[in-house]
Structure 1
Amino acid sequence: MTEYVSTTPGLFPLPDWAKDDLSGLKGHQKHDLVSGDEGEAITGVYDEARAEVIDTQHAVGLDRIAEGQLRWDDMLAHPLAVHDAVETRGIVRYYDNNNFYREPVVSGDLDFSGDVARELETAAAGSDAPLQAVLPGPYSLADLATDEHYGDEADFLAAIAEFLAGELEAFPDHETLFLLEPSLVESPPGDGLDERASEAIDAVAAATDADVVVHTYWGAIEEKVYAHLLDAAFEAVGFDFVANQDENLYNIQEYGTKGDIALGLADGQNTLVEDPEAIRDRADWVFDQLPAAEFDTAYLTTNTETFYLPYSKFEAKLEALADAAALTEVNTV
């Protein structure tokens, strides 16, 4: 029997009060803040906001508790943007939407940072629920960055994977890890690089004992890239069933998938809040199209980060996901 688990890909919106406080402290909106050198007042705001988003996840009954990545002003580029060997330069559009990040330019060896681990340690200390870690996938992080040190595309991707694996080894105990890989969809790797992207994901996943979900979104992965992705050792692929149902289903039907699955069924960018029953029905519909498939765990999640949502809508989406997982559990007993 499939276990249904409610969760998110992380990267939460800041509570409204925190946006106001940070704007007053720095004279800028949150996404203009310079990551990594916050003073005590700004750190205090982030700490309080982190506690609030953790409490919110507890209150709605979410099965996996994420730290929230509230300090990730540069979105998925954050782990590089705060690294000593990285220079942040001009503002770059984040894929094809209206959010932006500072271009991370790697100019030295990517040794251990510990920035994300410190955030997770704080989250773990404030919660006894199953913790979910979140990292950019190695291919997406390499795609968002500029290399001025390693000099070779394959070497750079391998260095990014080694860096992420080293960061991951310092994480506190966590139940799951979401590796966010939208670049596999938005900037698909070509011949040769698709295989190396799979090897890089495999190297990062091997650094944790947690269940690893490689979450893809904003569409469906090209067939050849998807087939190579399945060669890596991890527990679940995450599929964006909001942006593209047909091609994601085709990939699963044609090539199979892992023993677990993550279903991006609630829209992480749209303020319309789905009914729990609608989310459950969408999950049932996916499984109806896969009569031969059996999954140990199905993660019910938003398709994308919830960063884009007003905070009240974010809370409502989490509650809908939690209620949907509970409804599905009842119906499958």
Structure 2
Amino acid sequence: MQLLATTPGLYPLPDDAKETLSDLKGHQRGDMIDGDEGAEIVAVYDDVRTELIDAQAGAGLDRVVEGQARWDDMLAHPLVVHDNVETGGIVRYYDNNNFYRDPIVRGELSFDGDMAAELEAATTLTDDLQAVAPGPYSLADLATNEHYEDEAAFLDAIADFLAAEIEAFPAAVETLFLLEPSLVTNPPTDGVDERVSRAIDVVAEAIDVPVVVQTYWGSLEEKVHAHLLDADVDAIGYDFVSDHDGNASLIAEYGTKDDVALGLVDGQNTLIEDPETIVERVEWIETQTPPSQDFETVYLTSNTELFYLPVNRFEDKLAALADAAELGVDA
């Protein structure tokens, strides 16, 4: 079993960057950005990207993300910056007490390239690059469709849009995490769950690297989990912070992919987990899985994005994950 320390990205902005951005454009998390920031703002984000990648390298993570410092509207960001999307009023995603904008799709979701540009900038800063993108179901769930015929066509359009964006990612990308919390918080109904699996296939097939579908804020319904297992991805991520028993039961009863991502560090709580505790949690999960389930790669990660944490605590979480991967598990 190979342990790789990583995260689902979406990091907190350093305090000095927050102040500078606020001075430049009244910029706070939740304010709209349009993808056409001026040179001074671009320079700030360039500095933040370097700082966030350096923090991951210093901690010793095996996979390093760009950090998504520009993603004011979190998972909805790839739509928010699109020319054919109107950035609507303030809404709250996932009942998490953070407020973002409502992306209203009013035209064709043509190729944009925003995510690829961020990753291209990161390629000069790390050799262990991991891409992060919203999954098609969560992105469709967070958006308002005012253009496509119905919700089925909208999901297909979102999947095609993400696939085109991901196909443009630089060759240096080592892994891709697709973040799909809506699969847990607003599970697809019968029939839709199969369509979601096909949409994830469309996105995953756009890149020739291991693809991890990271779910969080609970555990999946059994049927949703079954259809996700049918998707052509390399690993599914489980939130063992929010619901360790539910996720352990899913794996015990239905199995999972040969690789797995384990959300073992709390992305919203400032309490810092000991590396030994993280390893013990991995070993406990192993005891809950059927003997036939022999994991090849285990991604050790936080259960959610780390945006919710103070910067110093965020950095401590990175170190805990890296140290746990270094410790390994008992054979």
TM range (shorter): over 0.9
Q: Secondary structure at the match of 1:294?
A: coil
Task: Please say if residues 168 and 207 of structure 1, whose CA atoms lie closer than 8 Å, have aligned partners that are also in contact.
Answer: yes
In the other structure, the counterpart of 1:118 is 117
Distance in 2 separating the partners of 1:30 and 1:97: 14
AA of the residue aligned to 1:153:
E
Name the stretch that deviates more: 304-313 or 100-109. 100-109
Task: Please say if residues 182 and 218 of structure 1, whose CA atoms lie closer than 8 Å, have aligned partners that are also in contact.
Answer: yes
Distance in 2 separating the partners of 1:188 and 1:313: 31
Q: How far 1:36 sits from its partner (Å)?
A: 1.3
In the other structure, the counterpart of 2:71 is 72
TM-score normalised over the length of structure 1: 0.97
In the other structure, the counterpart of 2:316 is 316
Once the two structures are superposed, the pairs formed by residues 25-174 of structure 1 within 5 Å of their partners are 25-127=24-126, 129-173=127-171, 174=173
In the other structure, the counterpart of 2:189 is 190
Q: Secondary structure at the match of 1:62?
A: coil
Task: Please say if residues 87 and 104 of structure 1, whose CA atoms lie closer than 8 Å, have aligned partners that are also in contact.
Answer: yes
How big is each residue's C-alpha offset from its partner over 1:67-114, in whole Å with a ceiling of 9 and x where there is no partner? 001100010000000001111111110111111211111111111000
AA of the residue aligned to 2:64:
I
Q: How far 1:25 sits from its partner (Å)?
A: 1.3
Distance in 1 separating the partners of 2:77 and 2:29: 14
Matched, 1:328 2:328: yes
In the other structure, the counterpart of 1:300 is 300
In the other structure, the counterpart of 2:209 is 210
Distance in 1 separating the partners of 2:214 and 2:28: 28
In the other structure, the counterpart of 1:227 is 226
Distance in 2 separating the partners of 1:322 and 1:28: 32
How big is each residue's C-alpha offset from its partner over 1:31-82, in whole Å with a ceiling of 9 and x where there is no partner? 3252412111111111000000001111111000100011000100000000
Q: How far 1:273 sits from its partner (Å)?
A: 0.6
Task: Please say if residues 26 and 33 of structure 1, whose CA atoms lie closer than 8 Å, have aligned partners that are also in contact.
Answer: no
Question: How many pairs are equivalent?
Answer: 329
Task: Please say if residues 235 and 257 of structure 2, whose CA atoms lie closer than 8 Å, have aligned partners that are also in contact.
Answer: yes
Q: Secondary structure at the match of 1:248?
A: helix
Distance in 2 separating the partners of 1:30 and 1:258: 36
Task: Please say if residues 23 and 30 of structure 1, whose CA atoms lie closer than 8 Å, have aligned partners that are also in contact.
Answer: no
Distance 1:58 1:144, change over 3 A: same
Q: Secondary structure at the match of 2:232?
A: coil
How big is each residue's C-alpha offset from its partner over 1:178-213, in whole Å with a ceiling of 9 and x where there is no partner? 000000001110011111011100110011111000
Task: Please say if residues 35 and 73 of structure 1, whose CA atoms lie closer than 8 Å, have aligned partners that are also in contact.
Answer: no
Distance in 1 separating the partners of 2:216 and 2:290: 24
Distance in 1 separating the partners of 2:149 and 2:32: 30
Task: Please say if residues 5 and 301 of structure 2, whose CA atoms lie closer than 8 Å, have aligned partners that are also in contact.
Answer: yes
AA of the residue aligned to 2:116:
A
In the other structure, the counterpart of 1:251 is 250
Q: How far 1:291 sits from its partner (Å)?
A: 4.3
Task: Please say if residues 264 and 301 of structure 1, whose CA atoms lie closer than 8 Å, have aligned partners that are also in contact.
Answer: yes
Distance in 2 separating the partners of 1:290 and 1:134: 28
Distance in 1 separating the partners of 2:256 and 2:201: 15
Q: Secondary structure at the match of 1:69?
A: coil
Q: Secondary structure at the match of 1:125?
A: coil
Identity %: 65
Distance in 2 separating the partners of 1:35 and 1:221: 34
Distance 1:220 1:181, change over 3 A: same
Q: Secondary structure at the match of 2:230?
A: coil
Task: Please say if residues 241 and 303 of structure 1, whose CA atoms lie closer than 8 Å, have aligned partners that are also in contact.
Answer: yes
Task: Please say if residues 184 and 216 of structure 1, whose CA atoms lie closer than 8 Å, have aligned partners that are also in contact.
Answer: yes
Task: Please say if residues 65 and 132 of structure 2, whose CA atoms lie closer than 8 Å, have aligned partners that are also in contact.
Answer: yes
AA of the residue aligned to 1:321:
L
Matched, 1:7 2:10: no
Name the stretch that deviates more: 235-244 or 150-159. 150-159
Q: Secondary structure at the match of 1:230?
A: helix
Distance in 2 separating the partners of 1:93 and 1:159: 24
Task: Please say if residues 110 and 161 of structure 2, whose CA atoms lie closer than 8 Å, have aligned partners that are also in contact.
Answer: yes
